[in-house]
Amino acid sequence: MNCPVCDRIHEVEERKRTAVLTIKGEEVTYEERFYFCTNASDEENEFEIGAMTNENLLNARNAYRVKHGLLTSDEIIEIREGYGLSQVDLARLLGWGEATISRYESKAIQDEAYDTMLRLIKDNPLQALEFLKKNSDKFSGLKRQEIRSRIVEKLDTYGKEYLTRQIFEGEYVSFEEPSDLNGYVPLNIDKLEAVISYFAETVSNLYKVKLMKMLWFADALSYKRTGKAITGLVYRHEAMGALPVGHYSLMNLENINVQEEMGYHYDTMLHVYPNKNVKYSILDEEERAVLDAVVKKFKIYKASDIVDYMHEERAYKETESGTIIPFSLAGEIREFSNTL
């Protein structure tokens, strides 16, 4: 490109680094991209183009959003595209100014009230229908019918997922607050579904028993490394090792790709496969590193092997049958080795 630093046309290097920016009085850490000119002096050898600057600012704002538990710009786009709506249509649906969604997807940071409204329709098309009724006067008759049809289409896949989530979440009513029982992370079903699909992509023969243990090891290892779990699952001491509370409901979640298959002695076994519709972007780099470590350790283990391995953990030995395994013990798992 025509390099603005040395005023010559040549190849420039694109680099990345961790940067810090103050947003709303708070420092946030984010990934920054920039170009590097090898012809210039050490003092002035970096530059950005306009699109890169905008992307860097968006990354910083999203880091602020994550820090404060707000939807990122990408998540807002996913909500809108999930309903097949334009930015203006979604803004009108929610009763906002026409440019509001455009700003939230590109530069502005939404406050908690607006974030809550977006979350209301994120996984609940019924709520989107209520908003359409409330703000129907903002659309022509044809446009209103078109948007209603798209919402109803989403309802077809929403029904089962909504009911199974409600049942599963109901089993975690007593564990909503971050504590030693859930690894200081409230239940996150979206992240749980991503973790399970991630495991299934690299472990070909992944059945329920092995999956349940891999989930525990992933949460335990994450707690050991970072002081918090990944999924928010709560685990009980059972004969087969650690089992999540509500594991029957868990396996019925719509975004977990499970097939019943005939095993030895004609027993029915639950085989877990990847789900192409799951977004792995919900997992950060530290979480993926934990999952990779668990896969590397247990990929070739049989279910009985991983159960036996789990039985030797202090967290299992020092808890009673049927009791919750606290993460203060789970975080003391043995360091992984590459052999059985």
Gap between the Cα atoms of 127 and 26, Å rounded: 34
Q: Strands 8-9 and 46-47, how do they pair?
A: unpaired
Gap between the Cα atoms of 261 and 45, Å rounded: 61
Regarding whether 147 and 31 lie in a shared domain, the answer is: no
Regarding whether 133 and 37 lie in a shared domain, the answer is: no
Domain final residue pick, 113, 138, 170: 170
Is position 337 within any domain?
Answer: no
Gap between the Cα atoms of 275 and 265, Å rounded: 29
Regarding whether 237 and 91 lie in a shared domain, the answer is: no
Is position 340 within any domain?
Answer: no
Regarding whether 91 and 61 lie in a shared domain, the answer is: no
Strand locations in 39-195 (E): 46-47
Structure token digits, residue 210 = 């092995």
240 CB-near residues (< 8 Å, 6+ apart): 209, 212, 307
Gap between the Cα atoms of 231 and 293, Å rounded: 16
Gap between the Cα atoms of 170 and 155, Å rounded: 21
Regarding whether 116 and 211 lie in a shared domain, the answer is: no
pLDDT in tens, the chain (340 residues): 899 888 899 999 999 999 999 999 999 999 999 999 988 776 788 889 989 999 999 999 999 999 999 999 999 999 999 899 999 999 999 999 999 999 999 989 999 999 999 999 987 888 999 999 999 999 999 999 999 998 888 877 666 667 778 889 999 999 999 999 999 999 999 999 999 999 999 998 899 999 999 999 999 999 999 999 999 999 999 999 999 999 998 998 888 898 887 655 445 678 899 998 888 999 999 999 999 999 999 999 999 999 999 999 999 999 999 999 999 999 899 877 544 3
Regarding whether 308 and 199 lie in a shared domain, the answer is: yes
Is position 211 within any domain?
Answer: yes
Regarding whether 190 and 46 lie in a shared domain, the answer is: no
What's residue 279's pLDDT?
86
Domain final residue pick, 112, 142, 170: 170
Is position 336 within any domain?
Answer: no
Gap between the Cα atoms of 221 and 138, Å rounded: 51
Regarding whether 129 and 62 lie in a shared domain, the answer is: no
CB 249 within 8 A of CB 171: yes
Query: Any bridge partners for residue 259, and if so which?
Result: 271
Structure token digits, residue 115 = 């974030």
Is position 339 within any domain?
Answer: no
Domain final residue pick, 138, 170, 202: 170
Structure token digits, residue 1 = 């490109």
Regarding whether 184 and 318 lie in a shared domain, the answer is: yes
Distance spanning both ends of the chain, measured CA to CA: 54
Is position 231 within any domain?
Answer: yes
Regarding whether 304 and 203 lie in a shared domain, the answer is: yes
How far is the CA of 191 from the CAs of 62, 177, 236, in angstroms? Answer: 18, 17, 20
Query: Phi, psi (5° rounding) for residue 162?
Result: -60, -45
Regarding whether 198 and 100 lie in a shared domain, the answer is: no
* Nearest C-alpha neighbor of 34 from the set 19, 22, 20, 24: 19
CA 318 to chain CA centroid, nearest Å: 32
Gap between the Cα atoms of 329 and 28, Å rounded: 32
Q: At 135, which amino acid appears? A: N
Number of separate domains in the chain: 3
Q: What is the DSSP string of 256-323?
A: SEEEEEE-GGG-EEEEEE--TTS-GGGS-HHHHHHHHHHHHHHTT--HHHHHHHHHTSHHHHTS-TTS
Domain region containing 48: 2-67
Is position 273 within any domain?
Answer: yes
How far is the CA of 203 from the CAs of 133, 247, 309, in angstroms? Answer: 46, 20, 18
Regarding whether 279 and 193 lie in a shared domain, the answer is: yes
